[in-house]
Structure formats: structure tokens, C-alpha cells
Amino acid sequence: MDEVIENEDLKKEIGIIVEEYLSSKVDQSIKSGDLETAQNIFEAAKTIGGTAGKSIAKGIEADTGKKETLSKYERARKHEINGFNALVQENFNVALESFQEASDVYPKLHSVSEISRLLNSKKDEFDNIEVQKDIYRTIVEKYSWKVPKDIVQELKNK
């Protein structure tokens, strides 16, 4: 911004507007349960830095409620990734455990609750090849929202 805007007062005012907008966006996202957006803003603020970015990141880190909420999102996201990796490796029991943990931590994350329920309903038949194919097909067709494309492709190939 320093290279584009020479007026110091204008730079400060724009920085304040950006900071207030993004801080408000984080608050709204957390309140509405859209932790992914809140986490993305937080990560971008830390990465980009500058006065506004540092202030936003510091404000979130200082607010234990916000920080704890975003920490839940991160933990659930890790369990979700572990679940998909387990599915790719055809380890259905680990996948079930991972998706259940993700759902327990943050049930609104993508389709973790739905996948957890699907796997739980089929857990006694994990050794059946047709059931495995049905699980993969169902996940790809119904629950692949926000799943990385490479994982969706691997599940399609099963």
C-alpha cells in the first residue's frame, strides 16, 4: 500500500477500514458457524502482516473464545484429512474413528457428520468389497463438497 498511496492519513484510514471490516467478518463467520472463513481470514492476516493484518491476528489470539473456536476447526480439519487418507488406504475402521472425532469436535465441518454416520452404518460390513464400493460411491456423489480433488479422484478409482 505504501507504493500506491502516498498520503499517510489516507493510508491509515484505509488500514483502519480494512481492519474493522475483516475483524467484523471474523466475528460474523464465527457466530454463523462458518469457521472455515474465519480461519482463512486469520491465516491471511498472519501471513500478509502489515498494521491491519497484525492487529487482526493479535485480536483473535487475545480473544480466548475466538482462538478456542478456531482451534476446534483446525482439530476437526486434521481429523477429516486423516479420515480421507484412511479411506484412500482402505482402512475403514481408522476412517470411521477419524470422521467421528471430526464430527465430535466440529460437526458442521463440511460433510464429516454425514460421512461418520455412513461409515458407522456400514461398520459391520467393512470387509465386503461391494459395501466398500458403495461407501466410496456415496461419498463421491453426496459428500465430496470441499474434499480435495485428488482425493475425490482416488475415491472414484476405488
pLDDT tens digits, the chain, 158 residues: what are they? 555 667 788 878 888 888 889 889 999 998 888 888 999 999 888 888 888 888 888 888 898 889 888 999 999 999 999 999 999 999 999 999 999 999 999 998 999 999 999 999 999 999 999 999 999 999 999 999 889 999 999 999 98
Report residue 30 as a C-alpha cell: 464465527
Domain count, the chain: 2
- 39 with 82, same domain? no
Which grid cell sits at 29? 463467520
> Is residue 110 within 8 Å of residue 152, measured between CB atoms?
no
Domain-embedded: residue 68? no
* Same domain? 125 vs 150: yes
**Nearest one of 144, 146, 102, 138 to 121, comparing CA atoms:** 138
Containing domain of residue 150, as a range?
74-156
- The pLDDT assigned to 7 comes to 76
Kindly state whether residues 89 and 142 are assigned to the same domain: yes
Taking Cα atoms as reference points, which of 88, 91, 21, 100 lies closest to residue 53? 21
pLDDT at 124: 97
Same domain, 98 and 33: no
Domain annotation covers residue 67 = no
